[in-house]
Amino acid sequence: MLLNVSFLGFFLAGILLIFSSYRRSKSAYLASYLLFSNLFSLIYYIIFENDHPELAAIFGINFTPLYFLTLPFLHLFVLSQQNDFQFKQRYFLFFVPALLILINISPYLMTPFSEKREFAKLFLKNAELMYQAKTLFLPYYYQSLLRPIFNLIFLACTCFTFYKTRDSFEFQKSKFNERSFVLASLLIAGLLSILSFVFILNRLLVQNFEFTLLSKVSFSTINSIVDYLYVGQNLLLLFFPQILFREQIILDGSERTKKASAQKTEPSVSQERFLEIEQMILAYMNERPYLAQGFSLTNISQQTGLPTHQLSIYFNEYLNTPFNDWKNKLRIEYVVSEIKAGKLEFLTIEGLATSSGFASRSNFNKAFLTLMNQTPSEYIKDLKK
């Protein structure tokens, strides 16, 4: 079953890449996570459920650095759910462990294939012999133990980031909400990492202390649990067509919106209602809620009781201004007034961006340049002249 599940995962990852352009990082990150995760399940099958020395020689150890890429790509997929997400240079640090592991197994990589095949015949009969593989600075056994530890730590950081920045995430409304997909993916990844960690730790305890954590659990039971978790991970995506065919759905939705707009002859909200909405928003804006990161139409709706669809119509039809442009204008106007008052003159550009609700310096610079026709640095220099 695990072999079929792995191929299903590769197939779904391919669909994500085919039906979504590479510019849409959400799909690219998710596809990468599925590829590396199912590659691990395929290798797991080759080692524990198959007897093919050539395949074991190719996949058994050579691909272990890729194991350290699964959770980083899941982390990036979660982060990409944010409204103003942009890939930052520091994210390249996520891939450093995979590079270190690649260096660590370099002696094995340079081993002739004939020797790898003979070695594969041995560890197919006894998987523990894999721990005798040639490495540079970290024994393969501890490298195997390090992988689930690394995944668990990374997963904990991902969950913490998701909780801390939850207000900046926007999920499309649908029968199966994308938030549910993200949470389910984190849960399955956590269970797989925990199982892997407990399994390897159990072997360590048996070898060194003759103590077992899994005395009442058979190896076949663990294999079955792993199989079902991978089945759940891959089949889960089939319940979220807005993720699997993201770009196609977005394009189709845009076309429907354009056709609907072309057919409209009158606004769907009365002029009187627009004025009521305007007064309520002006009163709500006195507290400057737009300075909080992740501020969205949903926040306004929850705090004022105004329906989200009416707010959307208000900005698009009454103000003729996209909500994000309107929000950025308020933020930039706040920064400019505070700079002129001398209250923010000691802050860095990053500090100005954070204090005004922007999630990154680049987004702040772009919005400031659009509104003021100069960068924040240029504006501050002109004030000091």
Average pLDDT over residues 130-144: 88
Average pLDDT over residues 305-317: 88
**Is the pLDDT score of 120 beyond 80?**
yes
Most confident stretch, 115-119, 263-267, 354-358: 115-119
Which amino acid makes up residue 355? S
pLDDT, residue 265, reads 42
Share of the chain above pLDDT 90, in %: 16
**Is the pLDDT score of 73 beyond 80?**
yes
Cα separation, 126 vs 123, whole angstroms: 5
**Is the pLDDT score of 166 beyond 80?**
no
**Is the pLDDT score of 248 beyond 80?**
no
pLDDT, residue 112, reads 93
Nearest Cα to Cα of residue 355 among 370, 373, 337, 371:
337
Tens digits of residue pLDDT in 202-228 = 777 777 777 777 767 666 777 778 778
Cα separation, 313 vs 300, whole angstroms: 14
Cα separation, 127 vs 60, whole angstroms: 10
**Is the pLDDT score of 181 beyond 90?**
no
Cα separation, 33 vs 242, whole angstroms: 18
Cα separation, 294 vs 305, whole angstroms: 19
**Is the pLDDT score of 136 beyond 90?**
yes
Instruction: For residue 265, count CB atoms less than 10 angstroms from its CB and return exposed for 0-12, middle for 13-18, buried for 19 or more.
Output: exposed
Sequence-distant (≥ 6) Cβ neighbours of residue 254 within 8 angstroms: none
Sequence-distant (≥ 6) Cβ neighbours of residue 118 within 8 angstroms: none
Q: How confident is the model at residue 142 (pLDDT cuts 50, 70, 90)?
A: confident
Write down the mean pLDDT value for the chain.
Answer: 81
3-state secondary structure the chain: CHHHHHHHHHHHHHHHHHCCCCCCHHHHHHHHHHHHHHHHHHHHHHHHCCCCHHHHHHHCCCCHHHHHHHHHHHHHHHHCCECCCCCCHHHHHHHHHHHHHHHHCHHHHCCCHHHHHHHHHHHHHCHHHHHHCCCCCCCHHHHHHHHHHHHHHHHHHHHHHHHHCHHHECCCCCCCCHHHHHHHHHHHHHHHHHHHHHHHHHHHHHHHHCCCCCCCCCHHHHHHHHHHHHHHHHHHHHHCHHHHCHHHHHHHHHHHHHHHHHHCCCCCCCHHHHHHHHHHHHHHHCCCHHHCCCCCHHHHHHHHCCCHHHHHHHHHHHCCCCHHHHHHHHHHHHHHHHHHCCCCCCCCHHHHHHHCCCCCHHHHHHHHHHHHCCCHHHHHHHHHC
Identify which has the larger pLDDT, 196 or 345.
196
Nearest 5°: phi and psi at 82?
A: -70, 150
> Is domain 265-384 annotated with CATH 1.10.287.110?
no
Cα separation, 186 vs 197, whole angstroms: 16
**Is the pLDDT score of 89 beyond 70?**
yes
Nearest Cα to Cα of residue 338 among 383, 300, 307:
383
pLDDT, residue 106, reads 94
**Is the pLDDT score of 233 beyond 90?**
no
pLDDT, residue 245, reads 67
